[in-house]
Every structure is written in C-alpha cells, then in structure tokens.
Amino acid sequence: MKKHITFFIILIVLFTACERDDICIDPITPKLIIRFYDKNDPSEFKKALKLKIQIEGIDGDYQNETTDSIAIPIKTTEDITKYTLTITEILDDETTVEHVDTFDLTYTRIDEFISRSCGYKTLFHNTEIPIASVTNNWINSIEIIDDEQNILNEISAHVKIFH
C-alpha cells in the first residue's frame, strides 16, 4: 500500500509541475530595413562605406563596415524615431572625412498580441520621412518603398536611400 501511495504522490507532482513549453517562434516587432542605391543609376545597389547609425533614445551604435543594406530598430514607445547615419570617406592622403546625415521616421504604432510566450509585437503604419527632417550631406534622397507605408515584417526592404 505504501508503494501505491508513493507512486501516486510522485505521479501528482510530475503532472502538476509540468508546464507547456513557452518558446516564442512567432514573428516579433519588425526592424527598419534600409537598402542603399546609386543616385546616378537608381536600379543599382551602392554600398555605404564604413557606415555607422545612431538612433536617438536607443543605446549603442549600429555599425557595418561596408554594406548595401541594414536592419535597425524602430522605437516602440514613441511615434517618431530619429536616425543619424555617418559614412567615413578615406581620402588619397589617408585622412578621413565623416559625412553625417539625419532623418526622422514617423509612424502610427499598433500593438498586436501574439501569444503568452511572445507577448506583443508592434507594427508601424502610415510611415513617413518628413522632408524637413532630412539633411543632405551624403544622402541624395530617401524613399519609402511600401505604397501603403506600413512596416509589418522583415521580408523585404522598407526604405531606399540614394547616395
């Protein structure tokens, strides 16, 4: 009888201690994907050399030595994110010159519940880059790709930068 009671107690402990695995495999809040293009031939990609991106209110810099695309975060607590993009040009005499441009991304945030394990993700609608927010030191122009101006996933680029 004692063995049955012990077995029963062990069985109860095992079943009450088990929980469903809470692993989040669903999509998360999308990042802003920027592709860089040649201003003289808009169909051709053009790498940004020694690119550094700073995002106001988000710690850390996003750096990539040479790239024609980058994925960077968007603020989920405000309706605007300010970006500073810097490229470093190396001149013939080995001196370096930094070219800095800034722009704002404005949007409407919509939080969407995913699951208990994932929580919420934020989607960005009505995205705009106000012309007044853009400085043009090395960037010639900026274009939002999606006609509906939404950032809902990380499947393809959201913004084109011509330089």
Which domain, by its residues, includes 146? 23-162
Residue-wise pLDDT tens digits, 100-156: 999 999 999 999 998 888 889 999 999 999 887 788 789 999 999 877 789 998 888
In a domain, 3, yes or no: no
Q: Tokens representing 124?
A: 């960005």
Residue-wise pLDDT tens digits, 17-70: 545 556 787 668 999 999 999 999 999 999 998 899 999 998 877 887 788 999
CA distance 9 to 13: 6
In a domain, 12, yes or no: no
Q: What is the pTM of this model?
A: 0.79
Parallel, antiparallel or unpaired: strands 48-55 and 58-67: antiparallel
In a domain, 11, yes or no: no
* pLDDT (0 to 100) of residue 51: 92
In a domain, 1, yes or no: no
In a domain, 10, yes or no: no
How many structural domains are present in the chain?
1
Phi, psi torsion values for 116, nearest 5 degrees: -65, -40
Sign of dihedral through CA atoms 133, 136, 145, 73? Answer: negative
Average pLDDT, the chain: 85
Going by pLDDT thresholds of 50, 70 and 90, the confidence category of residue 162 is very high
In a domain, 13, yes or no: no
